[in-house]
Structure 1
Amino acid sequence: MPTPRETILAALHARLSALPATTLRGEVLPERLPAAGLLILRDGEPGEPEVTLSPLAYHYQHRAEIEAIVQGADRDAALDTLCASVGTTIAADRTLGGLCDWVEAEAPRPVDLPVEGAASLKAAVILVVLHYSTADPLG
């Protein structure tokens, strides 16, 4: 049985997969980008939990990352549209069907990805904070 952390990350990946862009999880950047863009979900860091003792619970603010990447003639507008669609998807269900206490995205951070011999890529990293609690840090 998957841990709450894995269940939450898989649910976030499934939500992102409903977007027109291709969505990968933990993969390397492929040689060719899909026309609609690419999203790569990185598991990120759960960080140090706050702990309550009665009942024992570990409260995390897990920081996952979504890399949004586009290529083509109108890269600026395409990246803006892709990032906005990620925000709309997250805002549509901030608890991922009750798996999380709260999900929030931070503003996208631009990333330079030069490519030799091809049209340059436009990319941004979107930090997503997943607030959840679990009874065991390993389970």
Structure 2
Amino acid sequence: MTPRETILAALHTRLSALPATALRGDVLPERVPTNGLLILRDGEPGEPEVTLSPLAYHYQHRAEIEAVVQGTDRDADFDTLIASIGAALSIDRTLGGLCDWVEAEAPRPVDLPVEGAASLKAAVIPVVLHYSTADQLA
């Protein structure tokens, strides 16, 4: 696996340890699990900074976590879910030495009505992954 894929897989594994269901690159299912739902999107690596000796590409890759809860107590459930993501990332901001640094940005929550069911509360949480590779395709 490339460093990029290894880092994204490690981030997904970290999210999978949370009580919420963690998916990667999937569509929003018809039903949101009672503990919440997280969907990791690979995002964009962006333009790297380059050093020439030795050749290295330094990325600030912007992945995204979609966090979704549903139910009557969705505000408290959402807050708990967001706090658990922050705690999981702060345990080891290098993902076991795979990254230089992992930093989540603040979510912008929205309430989404669902016809015939409890509303959803959701947000996209940008996660910046700082890492370097020797090859842009690696």
The TM-score, its normalising length taken from structure 1, stands at: 0.97
What letter matches 1:56 in structure 2? Answer: L
Find the counterpart in structure 2 of residue 22 from structure 1.
21
- Cα offset for 1:92? 0.3
Q: What does the per-residue CA deviation read over 1:79-117, in whole Å, with 9 as the maximum and x for residues that have no partner? A: 010000000000000000000000000111113433222
SS in 2 for 1:89: helix
* Aligned position for 1:68: 67
State how far apart, in whole Å, the 2-side matches of 1:132 and 1:8 are: 9
Q: How many residues align?
A: 138
CA drift at 1:11? 0.1
Is the 1:111–1:125 Cα contact (8 Å) retained in structure 2? no
Question: 2:63 aligns to what SS in structure 1?
Answer: strand
Instruction: Find the counterpart in structure 2 of residue 130 from structure 1.
Output: 129
Tell me how far 1:125 sits from its aligned partner. Answer: 1.1
Structure 1 range deviating more: 110-119 or 43-52: 110-119
| In 1, Cα distance between equivalents of 2:110 and 2:94 | 28
Amino acid at match of 2:133: T
CA RMSD for the aligned pairs? 0.8
**Structure 1 unmatched ranges of 5 or more:** none
2:105 matches 1:101: no
Name the aligned partner's letter for residue 3 of structure 1: T
DSSP-derived class of the 1:114 partner: strand
Give the deviation of 1:130 after TM superposition.
Answer: 0.2
Question: For residues 39 and 124 of structure 2, what CA distance do their matches in structure 1 show?
Answer: 9
- Runs of 4+ with deviation above 6 angstroms: none
Identity %: 85
CA distance in 1, matches of 2:56, 2:81: 36
